[in-house]
Structure 1
């Protein structure tokens, strides 16, 4: 591998010099899509390039005497004679664009899928399949991402972490899903899938990060988008209203949104458990009604040409009520009639609230890009969770009945404080960056519970026992990274050090568990393009997966006296080494990947053959190796049809640790295709077809069975395409079911879960505002200030 890298470096470093600079207006705003041309001394054009969204350009050519010219719309804005003996940095080049842009609006549609040196960028606003949906629905159609129930993963890999505008969401699986459901997909600009994140990012997230970028305001414009959606499921309905306001004028930029959803959903669970003497068939229906309010407010102010500051505030308020009727039928193996029936009813009332605020400052140190970015962040997550339950256990012959009743109350509050500083230091040799972060998290759980067990008489009194569980986490990080672009080669490398201290305190046992460790997390991303449409990429990164606060909570929730769910306060982090080799040719991307995942944790059902009790808990329980291939193809040959298709196949080996089960080795496969069709010349009638299928799979101790999903969407554009009417039918054939089986402690369990993904959705979205925009699709405001990657 090192010989390969050395070969690429040696072929890239030839007798070339680099010409770079940044084209700006008189007001010091970047000029996008300006043409930069290098002429010979005889006025023969030699090489040209376009400025990017920051107004920057880079040209490499041989030493000599030339003329540098900048044009836009065939009008010459700037000329300069230059002699190239070494790299030439032009710095900021001010130009007068008043005449050229006075009556022109550039409209350049971005590629649906963009591949950068360290990430895949999915431009969600270029597809119709997520219109009217939410952020969780948007992730379901993102290439390389899989959402099953409330679990978000990279297809064929382990779980990831989710960011909103480069800010990590420290939420558990269920709470994260609820948060994403409150964000309209129409407010999302793009989704970044980062399988090998640069050193600037936190090392958390076993298989990488997903960064959801919200829409930002364009220069010298304002817009207001209003939307409403009605969604019908088989048992429940949902209604929502959304709004998004953006303003950018002079030195002030403002982005805000307010969104509300009210509805319900039902999940069906069925488990078959084969104990040594009896067979259990348990059926559950989880009915949930919810109200979700999400608000975002972001303000940025450019105090001077070198100093900008601002803040972003996010609030997410939820209120859910649920009931979970369950019934277990117990059979003897020689009899088809159950000898015991257990019925249970669990209710829950939850109020999860999330509040986040970010303050940021950006200070430019010079005209070539050196800057300091300071971020101060705080978030609070709180949840008042009450879950009473009751039921009976009846034996048929001879008839006998017993009762059970209980309640579980948990008041959880998590506060996180963090400070982060980034220094971006572009230089002739490479673009350097360094910085650090300090993060403090404190979680308090006040638990009050009662469980009667099976008793002969109905329970009338429930004296609750109080339980306190606290968890504190402190992380200090330093990083250093560099990015170098040669003629055909780009190298991005970095090293991150994180020191972590955790403290778990169990109030009932008066027990404290401390964990203190320091780890190094190297990353490298290489991109080599020997020809215009051909690119090779190699990446390696080391990651960590830390338990979230809900997974550590030892609070026990009883569904019945024979089925409980609990956390694990001694859960430890796991570590992942990811290797990827990617070849891209035009619209086709082929990937080979290999990962080593040590000390993995997951939820596991632990059955007891003597008591017939099943405990669902989290354990560090296996080491995993994955060998995989994936294909991604983007089809846009015809103006009326565009699509992207993915296929993943890997082989997984699992070695179990300290659990009474054997790991399952085997293949995993996944296929998906998303297609947009334009049905008329005016491009106002659109159709989308989406299909996903997972034929086979294994993970840890589980074997996964076939599942698939088919959806259709139709969209009609009115009023100069500012009004969108969309009708969507999701999971048409009701085949998106999770089927899996495992053998733990010698007991076989077969499960079949359905998460209410079949629905019909009608949405309306209308946009109004000012279109006086100098350059369309320009990224301004917080998006540039707060991007951590430097690419």
Structure 2
């Protein structure tokens, strides 16, 4: 009994001691801040500020951001502050720290002769892991060169692009951003937009599995942020590029880029042209009660993109910078569609009917986005305000005429219809947001808000004409207008306590939607207000080991085409239509990670999904194939992932990972089995070799393999892809040549099967991914200050002021 009391007393003392020491720990952190500049007061980015003990042991360090500011938190005591640039100490000062210290402007002065000689070409890392995201440096990738944004996403770690759908491996539902701005497009419109962005204009891709509260809550699995390149300081550059691609057909992509930065002005202009021809094939089977259908689809897509981009920034004062960004796209593709369906009797095996259709679709679409942004420094301690005003307009006018014929077993024509599908779509989005960054002694805070207004107007005209009877069979018009308005506010706080770092946030989004079908006099309204909490914490055990844990809630709102009830026919007996009563889906994510020396990263996550959205194929007993979108299931998913980012030596490095998942679901709709479970997994490995001492020749090989899997009742066969690429630099690296072989084994085919409405169906799809791509890129220009040419391995480790 006495031992039990002693044990209880020890526990009480321990709790008391924690309660006493915790406030001391919380308030004992003291901040050292400052701004690092050149002799002409120009801010220096990526200078390293290091705090050392009296024994010259590094205590903490930080890198200056693009404004030259740095911030370091330490305990009270005596230290040595060093400022290093390109690994060289250029400033040293002894400090006695007992309260917050603002060092003001720290000028680094070197002789002009030295400046002209300081050029460092250290290789930037391909993959970098930050606290809340993984950064894929596209400009350092061999395979990403000479393609488009979709090609760059294909080689990004943890991302899978299949069926021209972008997803995080083992997960579903993501949000895509460009320069921190959510792309308000979905489906084919999103794919076409990504194809219009040259991968040579992309600096990096951020994979954010636990987005902070400042970002939109859209995207069940997180966000993918595409960061475009910006002009270098005190320079002008011209880049000319051309890519030739041979898949089933030949494609040609070319473009030019001009960038300029001097004093207060930063300017970039880019024009891209993309003339390509690709195919899509799908072998489909439907197992009806009395008949068996073999369906073959073949599409040929001819595109001709023109994509202008303009970015302009002006430094109004030392504290305020204003910017404008415009990205446009125009395209007038033509698509040849062909389908052939052979119907046989299940009992006799005899041919019953043959369905054929062929047509040529003509599309005229354009997209323009305009952004006005600003950054204002509110004080000298890192307090900032940023704002963004965005306008997006998107137009898509499509006419899809085709002939549909049905033959009997004697090849007699029993139906001959001429069909015209006409569709007009216009989307407008107005958005504005404001953000504040507030450093303080206790913690660093961020808060802000956003307003977004989306208006979608679409009209579909459908005409069926019977060529045998010479009369209209069906003449239908559907006009659908959809509005979605969202108001959001957020708050987050970040705190470091010794080896711990905490970041908590809360985002509130209030959404109103209105969908109106004028032809049927139907109006559907939805209003919902939701909170989206985030929690992220890291614990650094020692210099080799760290742990992190995150919690968040996310939303996946239906795309505009998901809720449009108009029927879109691909043949006389096959059509897709939207569901105006579709609800948003929600997920709750929890993830724990362990990192060893930033080489090995192990992660385990658990996801709860509610009202999951998916397109459901529902074959009818009258042999009609229909598809629509449904909130069809809730699910629980467990993901396990192990990755490695390792340099075997100075010439050979790898980024590899293996993953597994297990999922259980409960269906909401009668067409899908009530409950079920499934599992899957796969691996990917990418190896980069430096082939010569001059570091001008690189070879990269990549292979991924997805095991046979079962998820949400969909069974997928194994799939894989082998890619090999070569990159060579000529003329002092001004000329770059890249040769890429993709899907060499032609094994990247999506083969899947499932049962819907008690009818078994299977699909085998091919998206023309086997290709040879040759790209040339030539750069010329002037960099007046040599020190600005450095490319450090830690260049991405710029710490924000907070």
Hey, what's the Cα distance between the residues in 2 that align with 1:752 and 1:473?
36
Give the distance between the partners of 1:584 and 1:261, measured in 2 at CA.
41
Q: Give 1:769's aligned residue.
A: 781
1:334 corresponds to 2:347: yes
Please list, as runs of the form range in 1=range in 2, the aligned pairs for 1:685-764 lying within 5 A after superposition.
685-764=697-776
Query: How far 1:90 sits from its partner (Å)?
Result: 2.9
Q: Could you say which residue in structure 2 is the equivalent of 1:478?
A: 489
1:240 pairs with 2:253: yes
Larger CA deviation: 691-700 vs 307-316:
691-700
1:621 maps to 632
Question: 1:137 maps to which residue?
Answer: 151
Of 375, 383, 387 in structure 2, the residue corresponding to residue 370 of structure 1 is 383
- The residue number in structure 2 matching 1:402 is 415
CA distance in 2, matches of 1:16, 1:533: 23
The alpha-carbon deviation at position 22 of structure 1 amounts to 3.0
Cα distance change of structure 1 residues 66 and 20 upon mapping to structure 2, 3 Å threshold: same
Partner of 1:214: 228
Is the CA contact (8 Å cut-off) linking 1:298 and 1:312 kept in structure 2?
yes
Does the CA-based 8 Å contact 2:569-2:576 persist in structure 1? yes
Q: Deviations over 1:52-92 (max 9, x none)?
A: 44444444554334453435579875454432223434344
Counterpart position of 1:30: 43
Answer whether contact 1:31 1:51 (CA < 8 A) is retained.
no
Mapped to 1, the partners of 2:24 and 2:682 lie a distance apart of 38
Q: Give distance in 2, aligned partners of 1:182 and 1:515.
A: 34
Most deviating of 457-466 and 563-572: 457-466
**Counterpart of 1:721 in 2: which secondary structure?**
coil
Are 1:633 and 2:633 counterparts? no
1:366 to 1:264, Cα distance in 2 relative to 1, 3 A: same
Check if 1:116 corresponds to 2:130: yes
Per the alignment, residue 658 of structure 1 pairs with 669
In 2, the alpha carbon distance for the partners of 1:289 and 1:268 equals: 15
Which residue of 161, 170, 182 maps to 1:147?
Answer: 161
2:612 match: 600
Distance of 1:545 and 1:77 partners within structure 2: 50
Structure 1 length as normaliser, TM-score?
Answer: 0.93
> Aligned equivalents of 2:618 and 2:800: distance in 1?
43
**1:480-559 to 2 correspondences below 5 Å:** 480-559=491-570
- 1:219·1:774 contact (CA, 8 Å) conserved in 2? no
Question: Residue 162 of structure 1: which of 151, 156, 176 is its match?
Answer: 176
Please say if 1:357 is aligned against 2:370: yes
Of 741-750 and 84-93, more deviation after overlay is shown by 84-93
Q: 1:168 Cα shift?
A: 1.0
Deviation at 1:27, TM superposition (A): 3.9
Instruction: Map 1:410-489 to 2 at 5 A.
Output: 410-452=423-465, 457=468, 459=470, 464-489=475-500
Q: Decide which of 263, 277, 285 is 1:250's aligned counterpart.
A: 263
Moved more, 132-141 or 73-82: 73-82
CA distance in 1, matches of 2:91, 2:698: 43
2:294 aligns with one of 260, 281, 289: 281
Structure 1 residue aligned with 2:205, among 184, 188, 191?
191
TM-aligned CA distance change 1:251 to 1:733, over 3 Å: same
Answer yes or no: is the 8 Å Cα contact 1:346–1:389 preserved in 2. Answer: yes
Worse overlay, 94-103 or 582-591: 94-103
Distance change >3 Å, CA 625–CA 637, structure 1 → 2: same
Structure 2 residue runs of 5 or longer lacking an equivalent are 1-14
Cα distance change of structure 1 residues 617 and 550 upon mapping to structure 2, 3 Å threshold: same
The 1:80–1:233 alpha-carbon spacing in structure 2 relative to 1, beyond 3 Å, is: closer
Q: Which moved more, 1:52-61 or 1:315-324?
A: 52-61
Quick one: structure 1 residues 751 and 789, their matched pair in 2 at CA, closer, same or farther if it must change by over 3 Å? farther
The answer for the alignment partner of 1:571 in structure 2 is: 582
What TM-score, normalized by structure 2, do the two folds share? Answer: 0.92
C-alpha contact 1:32 1:775 (8 A) present in aligned 2: no
- Does 2:139 match 1:125? yes
Q: CA deviation at 1:533?
A: 2.2
Alignment of 1:65-76 (within 5 A): 65-72=78-85
Q: Where does structure 1 lack aligned partners over 5 or more consecutive residues?
A: none
Give the structure 1 partner of residue 12 of structure 2: none
| 1:388, distance to aligned residue in structure 2 (A) | 1.4
1: CA distance, partners of 2:699 / 2:262: 36
What is residue 671 of structure 1 aligned with on the other side? 683
Measured after TM superposition, the shift of residue 462 of structure 1 is 7.7
How far residue 216 of structure 1 moved from its aligned partner, in angstroms, is: 0.7
- 1 CA distance for matches of 2:694 and 2:601? 32
Q: 1:324 aligns with which of 334, 337, 353?
A: 337
For 1:351 and 1:788, locate their aligned partners in 2 and report how far apart those are by CA, in whole Å: 44
Aligned length: 777
Aligned to 2:44, the other structure's residue is in SS state: coil
Task: Tell me if the contact between 1:664 and 1:703 (Cα under 8 Å) persists in the aligned partners.
Answer: no
Write the deviation string for residues 99-125 of structure 1: whole angstroms up to 9, x where unpaired. 563531344433221111211111111
1:350-383 per-position Cα deviation (integer Å, ceiling 9, x unaligned)? 1221100001122111112111111111000110
- In 1, Cα distance between the equivalents of 2:646 and 2:750? 30
Cα separation, partners in 2 of 1:456 and 1:66, compared to 1, 3 Å: closer
How far did residue 472 of structure 1 move? Answer: 0.6
What is the CA–CA distance in structure 2 between the aligned matches of 1:529 and 1:578, rounded to whole Å?
A: 22
Give me the whole-angstrom Cα distance separating, in 2, the residues matched to 1:166 and 1:568.
30
**Structure 1 residue matching 2:321: 3-state secondary structure:** strand
Shift of the 44–671 alpha-carbon distance from structure 1 to 2, 3 Å rule, reads closer
Aligned to 2:572: 561
Distance 1:489 1:39 in 2: 20
3-state SS of 1:665 partner: strand
Secondary structure, in 3 states, of the residue corresponding to 1:239?
strand
Q: Is 632-641 or 29-38 further displaced after alignment?
A: 29-38
Return closer, same or farther for 1:305/1:414 CA change in 2, 3 Å cut-off: same
**Aligned mate of 2:275, from 241, 262, 265:** 262
Q: Is the 8 A contact 1:106 1:776 kept in 2?
A: no
The match for 1:272 among 285, 296, 305 is 285
Q: Aligned partners of 1:670, 1:9: CA distance in 2, in Å?
A: 44
- The whole-number CA distance in structure 1 between the counterparts of 2:738 and 2:25 is 49
